[in-house]
Amino acid sequence: MELALALLLAPLLAGIVRRTKAILAGRTGPPLLQAYRDLRKLLARRSVYSRTTTWVFRAAPFASLAAVAGALALTPCGLLPAPIAFPGDLLLLVYLLALARFATALAALDTGSAFAGMGASREMAFGVLAELALLLALASLVRTTGAWSLSEMAGQLPEGAWGASAGSLVLLAAALLGILLVENARIPFDDPATHLELTMIHEAMVLDHGGPELAAIEGGAMLKLWLFASLLATVIAPIQTGAPWLDVGAHLGAVALVGVAVGLIESGMARLPLLRVPQMLLAMALLALLSMALAPGGGIAP
Amino acid sequence: MTLFALALAAFVAGAAGALLAARSPRLATGLGAGGAVVGSLLGLVPAALVLSGRDVGSVRLPWSVPGGSLSLAIDPLSAFFLVPLFAVGAATAVYGAAYLLPEARHRSLGPAWLWFDLLLASMALVVAARNGLLFLVAWEAMALSSFFLVVFHHERDGVPRAGWVYLVATHLGTAFLLVLFAWLAGDADSLEFADWRRPASGASWLFALALVGFGAKAGFFPLHVWLPEAHPVAPSHVSALLSAVMVKLGLYGLLRVVSLLGGADPLWGTALLGVGLVSAAYGALALLAQRDLKRLLAYSTVENLGIAAVGLGLGLRAAASGATSLAVVALAGALLHVWNHALFKGLLFLGAGSLARGAGTLDLERLGGVLRRMPTTGASLLVGAAAICALPPLNGFASEFLIYLGSLEALGTGAPIAAHALAVVAGLAFAGAVAAAGFVRAAGVALLGEPRSAEAAAAREVAGPMRGVLAVLAALCLFLGIAAPVALRAAAPAIEQILPAGAEGGPALRAASALLWQVAAAGGAVAAAGAALLWLRARLLPAPVARPVGTWDCGHAAPTPRMQYTASSFAQPLTRLFALVLRVRSSAPEPAGIAPAPASFGTRSEDLAAGVYAGIFAAVAELARRLRPIQAGSPQLYVLYTVLAALALLLWKVL
Amino acid sequence: MIESLVLLPTIAAALVFATRSRRLREGCLLGTAVAHALLVGALAASPPAPSRRAWLGLDPLGLLFLVIVSSLFLLVSVYTVGYLRREPEHARGDLEEAFLFSNEPAPVFVACLLLFLATMSLVTLSRHLGLLWIAIEATTLASAPLVYFHRHHRSLEATWKYLLVCSVGIAFALLGNVALVGAAAGSVTSELGLDELLRAAPRLDRRWLEAAFLLFLVGYGTKMGLAPMHTWLPDAHSEAPSPVSALLSGALLICAFLGILRAQQVLDAAGAHEVAASALRGFGIFSMAVGTLFIVRQRDFKRMLAYSSVEHMGIVALGVGLGGAAAFGAMLHALSHAFAKAALFLVAGNLLARYASKRADDVRGALEAQPASAALWLAGLLAIAGVPPSPLFLSEFAILREALAVAPWTAAAFLALLAIAFAAMLDVGLPMALGRAPAGISRDPEPATALGSPAALALLLLVLGLALPLPVRALLEGAARVIGGG
Amino acid sequence: MNSLLVAAAGLVALLDFRLLGGSRLVPIIRAAALQGALLALVSVALRAREVELGFAALALGSAVIKGYLLPALLLRALRQVEIRREVEPLVGYNLSLLIGAAGLGLSALLGARIAANAATSTPLLVSVALFTMWTGLFLIVARRKAVTQVLGYLVFENGIYGFGVAVAGESPLLVEMGVLLDLLVAVFVMGIIIFHIQRDFSHIDVDRLALLRDVDEPAPPGEAP
């Protein structure tokens, strides 16, 4: 369900973010559906492979796309359980994202380009802290809900979780938002639109990709944004009406709201100096920890 | 047991044959490697039988050494460790045969195979021994034979020193085991494992002794210092065997002692967990800072043994507080990790050996572009790297998944060990992500991009058997990732053995097994989806431009491979963040003058613990130096000592 | 029968001294060694009935030490024959300083070697403490010319210190004899017969007895190499020719220990066990500490071996002091240390001959230059360091077990010192065998005579360590029972 | 008889002082010889009532060896090395005498205590024997020349012999003979070594025999030819 929605709507979400930014900047901006056109254009192009590269370069974008799609298959659509749900599926989700990162970074190194190498280096370095924060955030969710499958946790959220541990969930949501921004190469951590190679992270990695490979990468990035937005939306708006379609609708609305919020943040903030990024990420992890401490059961029992 | 005895006999025969045939390299290799392979295959049978629930009996023969007896048995715990021992033993023997042959021009291969076969035999004996003295003798024989393998290239710079560090470290560890065994034997007045009981008091001291003694072998921080010394200098098939199997015997020893002591105290689990976390985190960080590929892999061993220790610690702690299902999951994860690590670390070390042979160097800064030149080796190494980063659907994920799952369960149910669980989640996440960065760096820099040196540019794919072994191991990594429940079933009886009496592990095991199937299915689906996408891309979308072009270089004129991102710069964001732990020293001579000479910038990381030991050794040496004037040479002085000794003695007792 | 063990080598010594024929000399040496070993073997197979009031006799303790002396002498004499053939008889340049020296005439050397055997046999056979003293002092006198084989000033200095320090030390043991007589005054007729003393022990004066034991300990301890009386030992061992060092370290030291053990027997019989035990323990640990610390960063590899002997004599003393199972350990340790150290000294002789230096730093890459010797050197080092399958591992473990039960802190010190000694010995010894041999060092194969004996010793050690043969075990247990061990 | 014994003991003690205070070597060797002979005779005197032939012969032999043979060996060594006196001893002669006096005092105290515990009690002889041992050891430690050290060793043996006579009375003839023989050979060998030292080092100052030691800085080169 979630996977299907994401495959359909993820470019739209990217469009929402872009549009929000454009509006705030006083520009008209690209149409909402521009991302779909971009992807189609890329898919129709012929790729150019550097003679340095190997099959790794060619396979990695699709591996990474498959991994993110797999992660989406584990994500509940709002309160609706995901098609694949089992205790501990959140771990698989985190490690599928890691697989995507692993593949992209290797592809970057495969080009032998100094910029791609630099991007991969930074991506992996920030990934360390981002992954830590994400796992802690999810663990905090486990602590709060007492369930250890994503779909089950989502199911637990409306029933009193917000009531019993609102403070914990607020912190958690803040942490998740931060993680969303860094995992998707957003300001203040990275700038998806920059053209100065030395300051890029994610974009620097994919400099050499083109055609269908770039489409896979871009598509993967959009799916990833959707994934995090959806997770965040589930946490902040676990709306349960009783009618599944209404719930889904509410969820989609929440996701769109998250997209707008991301656009607002990107417009309102400046990019952090690279050296400050780890501090911010550590702050996210601490937020997640703190949310765990505030979780029911009187915090962490010794 | 007959088969097991035959396996030992095959090892010994191989060893003796290799030594006797030392004059002919081919014959020595054939006999030595043949003995190892035959023995390993023979030994696998009883181990597999035991794991499938059969009883293979035990042996107890007299041994004239006081307190000693030749008592051997294979219980599930032993069998679980025997399987990787024999499997990796056979693989490394096949690989080693091809790997060592070129060395025959410089030296006799007889001794190398003698020690290799003896190492296998002594390791098997360690796992099967049921007498304290026999265990210790086998334990030291293992250390000794591996020492001689480590110093195989003894004429190279630094190898004697590395050998010394290895020997001293392992011997110091054994010293603690001596106390442990002497203590247990003193209480029971017997050296038979069967007679040993948990003492009324001081059991925690015993565990502490075991933790230090076996931890030194397992490479727990801060006892790990020998690993990064010994591995880089050892021949690669030996490094593989040591890292994949021998260090695991440290874990085996710990588990054996725990089961002899009748289960763990809560404190023990916590201690093991703490040690494991520190090892995992430190190992991961340190591996990030290494230039030498095998040194990097050695630190990765520290990290992975740390992960296994975390699982064991969590499991023992949970078992001690009665949370059986949680304990089962964590222990299962730890044990599976033993198998998995044996596979992918064996793969990686053997792959490193192929790089050393094929590309002539293991210095990351001199490698690059190897995947194009050594396709099979490179691809297998990539699989190994992905597996060690615990990426699904490979085997590393299955074991880490179970350990995580145990801690999530503790967090979710509000079990009293939530703090432990939280530490595990945070620690494993951190170590795992850092290690992932480290292996992206290692694999990316070594295998991908452009070659950074002439050797790497001239890299040639290695001999068939070496490639074959790598491919088989890589396939096994994938297989155990999908078929992890099979491994779990093999581990089940061993887990039951570690659990305190009366704890029912069955249901939790079945649940975990079902979960692993689901994980495997999801992982498999992702892999299939990836493959399908690639197929679709090839079939439906436009073909790539055929004309070869260079990598886009931002318009820079005449880029050279030296302008690629280096391994050191790749690691820099993280090494800078953890400079305190990694003790990174940079050396950058200031360019001077109007036309400065070529400048260089380098960083290197020193081991955190090695410095401490160096300080201790220096202190002892200083004490010794200060005592030297006692032996000043004058006979008058010497007579005076004698007189004073006599006077002192007489004053003490008589006068 | 047992008298012949002393007489045979004495007569052979006289013969050697008289003749100039090299062939006859070598025949005498080897023949005596073989005959002696055979005799000892026969005695071990069927021990003679103990006769009371005899001055000579063979109890299990003496038998063990006799076996050690005899077997070691046999192997060392085989080596010596080759050694003497390789040693030039004319004057030559010194290795370390520029001057000429020539060796002692071979007849003197071989005669003294045989006399050395006679005196050591006498030590093991003595059933009278006075005779024991004479025999031990005689070993010093017989071996002094052996130490002075290379007639240059360093060996001279070593010989002087050996003679003086040991003679003065042993004089204390003479004083101990006097004190023993004082203890026995009036209660025993022939005051120093061991059997009479043992029988009369409960009636002996306790304070005199303790004083006597302590004086024995200082006196014979000097000869045995217990710190702080060990000072002569590194000099004599490093300057003596290697086969002599092997005999000194392997056989002589424990012969001196036999003197202490005899006194301890009397003390045990008198019920004053604790004094002997605590003194032995104290000296044991102290000797281990001194020996160990002087091994650390030792430059001269023969001195390193010598200090290791100090350390190991400490271990033996500690084992006896602990008693019980440790006494068995101590006996096993004495036996295995003798073999291991002798093998090491013989190999050190080979290395010295090839590298022409006793500085450990000068010896590198022996595995390249002389693989067989280097392999034996490594084997010996690891064996002496107590790595299984060395029998020293078994003995040290037995001592540790007892120490842990009796005196835990002693056990801790014991282990710590063993660990330091291990690290320090290998620190010095490993780089000698490994690495690259300097240019100019010959790579020629070595003569079989230089390798046979150390290889045989290594093989003996392997057999002892892997499967302590039952007769040997019985021998050791018999000896341990005599000194009150179980 | 008793007064004779007292006189002999007193003489032995006086000879000790002679040894401590003397710098010329020939006279002090003679002093040591006289002391040895005197002690051997004292042993006869003590057993005057029950003198056996063997015992008397042994005592006489002992007197001859200690009084004549050993000093002759030492004097021969002295002639060979052409040394006459102990110059610059490690401890000066006056101080030596003072230390000797202290030693005598201690010996007297100790001797009384020991004699009280011994079966045969001749406290005076016990004290003098202890003092003689003290003197012998002191000579070894505080003097430079190798000859003096051998002398010290002899005096120490004298002391032990005297102690034995005082405390234990008799001991088996064979043992006594063996001890004497050892002593003889020891002094003989030491004499030879002293000769060699003189030849190789052109001195016999044993404190300068310090090539073999374990101090880290390299030993000063020997003054070998």
Phi first, then psi: give them for residue D211, nearest 5 degrees: -70, -35
* C-alpha–C-alpha distance, residues A207 and C160, integer Å: 84
For residue D223, what pLDDT band results from cuts at 50, 70 and 90?
Answer: very low
Chains A and C touch (3+ CB pairs under 8 A): no
Give the mutation candidate from A58, A124, A149 for the B interface (greatest B CB count, under 10 A). A124
Lowest mean pLDDT among A105-119, B587-601, C435-449: B587-601
C214, C242, C178, C277: which is closest to C485 by C-alpha? C277
Low-confidence ranges of chain A (pLDDT < 70): 1, 159-164, 192-199, 296-302
Beta-carbon contacts of residue C355 (< 8 Å; ≥ 6 apart): C362, C363, C366, C369, C441
D3, D178, D207: which is closest to D89 by C-alpha? D207
* C-alpha–C-alpha distance, residues C192 and C179, integer Å: 11
Tokens of C231: 């000072």
For chain A, what are the domain ranges? 2-294
For residue C53, what pLDDT band results from cuts at 50, 70 and 90?
Answer: low
For residue C241, what pLDDT band results from cuts at 50, 70 and 90?
Answer: very high
Angle B578-B582-B587 (CA atoms, 0-180°, nearest 5)?
105
The three-class DSSP label of residue B585 is: strand
H-type helices in chain A, by residue range? 2-24, 34-44, 55-74, 89-110, 114-145, 150-156, 162-164, 166-183, 202-205, 211-236, 244-268, 277-294
Please report, as a single letter, which amino acid is at residue B462. V
For chain D, what is the mean pLDDT? 81
Average pLDDT over residues C46-67: 84
The answer to whether A152 and A85 are in contact (CB under 8 A) is yes
Average pLDDT over residues B625-630: 88
Cis peptide before C145 (omega within 30 of 0): no
For the stretch D156-181, pLDDT in tens is 999 998 888 887 666 666 677 778 87
Inter-chain CB proximity B179 and C397 less than 8 Å:
no
Residue D42 inside a domain? The answer is yes
B492: Cα within 13 Å, side-chain hemisphere: 19
Contact residues, chain D, for C303 at CB < 8 Å:
214
Residue D213 inside a domain? The answer is no
Distance from CA of B302 to the nearest CA of A (A): 19
Please report how the helices B293-320 and B266-288 are oriented relative to each other, as an axis angle in degrees rounded to 10.
160
For residue D220, what pLDDT band results from cuts at 50, 70 and 90?
Answer: very low
Residue D216 inside a domain? The answer is no
Alpha carbon B630 to chain centroid, angstroms: 45
Lowest mean pLDDT among A41-50, B285-294, C273-282, C304-313: A41-50
* C-alpha–C-alpha distance, residues B607 and B582, integer Å: 7
Tokens of C397: 């473990």
- pTM over cut 0.90: yes
Inter-chain CB proximity C185 and D197 less than 8 Å:
no
Residue D215 inside a domain? The answer is no
Q: Assess C417–B contact: CB distance below 8 Å, yes or no.
A: no
Contact residues, chain D, for B640 at CB < 8 Å:
141
pLDDT higher than 70, residue B558: no
For residue D82, what pLDDT band results from cuts at 50, 70 and 90?
Answer: confident
Give the gyration radius of chain D's Cα atoms: 18
A38, A40, A211: which is closest to B542 by C-alpha? A211
Give the mutation candidate from B61, B136, B631, B647 for the C interface (greatest C CB count, under 10 A). B631
* C-alpha–C-alpha distance, residues C17 and B638, integer Å: 34
The three-class DSSP label of residue B394 is: coil
Element (H, E) at B69: strand B69-73
Q: Which residues of chain D are at the B interface, by a Cβ-Cβ cutoff of 8 Å?
A: 90, 110, 113, 137, 140-143, 149, 206-207, 209-216, 219
Strand B602-605 and strand B584-587: the pairing is: antiparallel
**pLDDT of the residue at B120:** 95
Please, what's the largest Cα pairwise distance for chain D?
64
pLDDT higher than 90, residue B561: no
Torsion of CA D144, D147, D152, D157, to 10 degrees: 160
A288, B64, D157, B445: which is closest to C466 by C-alpha? B64
**pLDDT of the residue at B414:** 66
Query: How many CB atoms are located within 10 Å of the residue B524 CB?
Result: 15
CB < 8 Å & 24+ apart, contacts of B142-145: B142/B246, B142/B249, B143/B167, B143/B170, B143/B171, B143/B174, B143/C387, B144/C382, B144/C387, B144/C388, B145/B115, B145/B116, B145/B118, B145/B119
* C-alpha–C-alpha distance, residues B268 and C132, integer Å: 57
Measure CB to CB from residue C422 to each of B136, B168, B652 and give the nearest one. Answer: B168
**pLDDT of the residue at D219:** 43
Element (H, E) at B587: strand B584-587
CB-defined contacts C:D, below 8 A: 137
**pLDDT of the residue at A227:** 92
Distance from CA of D167 to the nearest CA of C (A): 6
A277, A297, A273: which is closest to A130 by C-alpha? A277
**pLDDT of the residue at B83:** 95
Lowest mean pLDDT among B199-208, B645-654, C44-53, C60-69: C44-53
Residue D151 inside a domain? The answer is yes
**pLDDT of the residue at D174:** 67
Strand C92-93 and strand B602-605: the pairing is: unpaired
**How many residues belong to chain C?**
486
**Domains held by chain D: number:** 1
For chain B, what is the mean pLDDT? 89
Angle A109-A111-A114 (CA atoms, 0-180°, nearest 5)?
70
* C-alpha–C-alpha distance, residues A132 and B423, integer Å: 12
**How many residues belong to chain A?**
302
Chains C and D touch (3+ CB pairs under 8 A): yes
Average pLDDT over residues C160-175: 92
* C-alpha–C-alpha distance, residues A57 and A54, integer Å: 6
The answer to whether C228 and B631 are in contact (CB under 8 A) is no
For chain A, what is the mean pLDDT? 84
For chain C, what is the mean pLDDT? 90
* C-alpha–C-alpha distance, residues D11 and C78, integer Å: 55
**pLDDT of the residue at D215:** 65
Residue D162 inside a domain? The answer is yes
Contact residues, chain B, for A118 at CB < 8 Å:
565, 569
Angle B256-B261-B265 (CA atoms, 0-180°, nearest 5)?
105
Q: What is the ipTM of this complex?
A: 0.91
For residue D221, what pLDDT band results from cuts at 50, 70 and 90?
Answer: very low
Residue B245 is classified by DSSP as I
Residue, of D52 and B340, whose pLDDT is higher: B340
Cis peptide before D71 (omega within 30 of 0): no
Inter-chain CB proximity D210 and B639 less than 8 Å:
no
Residue B129 is classified by DSSP as B
Which chains share 3+ C-beta pairs under 8 angstroms with A?
A: B
Chains C and B touch (3+ CB pairs under 8 A): yes
* The three-state (H, E, C) secondary structure of chain C, written as one string: CCHHHHHHHHHHHHHHHHCCCHHHHHHHHHHHHHHHHHHHHHHHHCCCCCCCCCCECCCHHHHHHHHHHHHHHHHHHHHHHHHHHHCCCCCEECCCCCCEECECCHHHHHHHHHHHHHHHHHHHHECEHHHHHHHHHHHHHHHHHHHCCECCHHHHHHHHHHHHHHHHHHHHHHHHHHHHHHHHCCCCCCCCEHHHHHHHHHHCCHHHHHHHHHHHHHHHHHHHCCCCCCCHHHHHHHHCCHHHHHHHHHHHHHHHHHHHHHHHHHHHHCCCHHHHHHHHHHHHHHHHHHHHHHHCCCCEHHHHHHHHHHHHHHHHHHHHHHCCHHHHHHHHHHHHHHHHHHHHHHHHHHHHHHHCCCEHHHCCCHHHHCHHHHHHHHHHHHHHCCCCCCHHHHHHHHHHHHHHHHCHHHHHHHHHHHHHHHHHHHHHHHHHHCCCCCCCCCCCCCCHHHHHHHHHHHHHHHHHHHCCCHHHHHHHHHHHHHCCCC
**pLDDT of the residue at A299:** 38
**pLDDT of the residue at C96:** 60
For residue B308, what pLDDT band results from cuts at 50, 70 and 90?
Answer: very high
Inter-chain CB proximity C238 and D212 less than 8 Å:
yes
Lowest mean pLDDT among B215-224, B563-572, C422-431, D61-70: B563-572
* C-alpha–C-alpha distance, residues B283 and B290, integer Å: 11
C141, C211, C143: which is closest to C177 by C-alpha? C211
For the stretch B441-482, pLDDT in tens is 999 999 998 888 888 888 888 888 899 999 999 999 999 988
Phi first, then psi: give them for residue B368, nearest 5 degrees: 130, 145
Average pLDDT over residues D58-71: 86
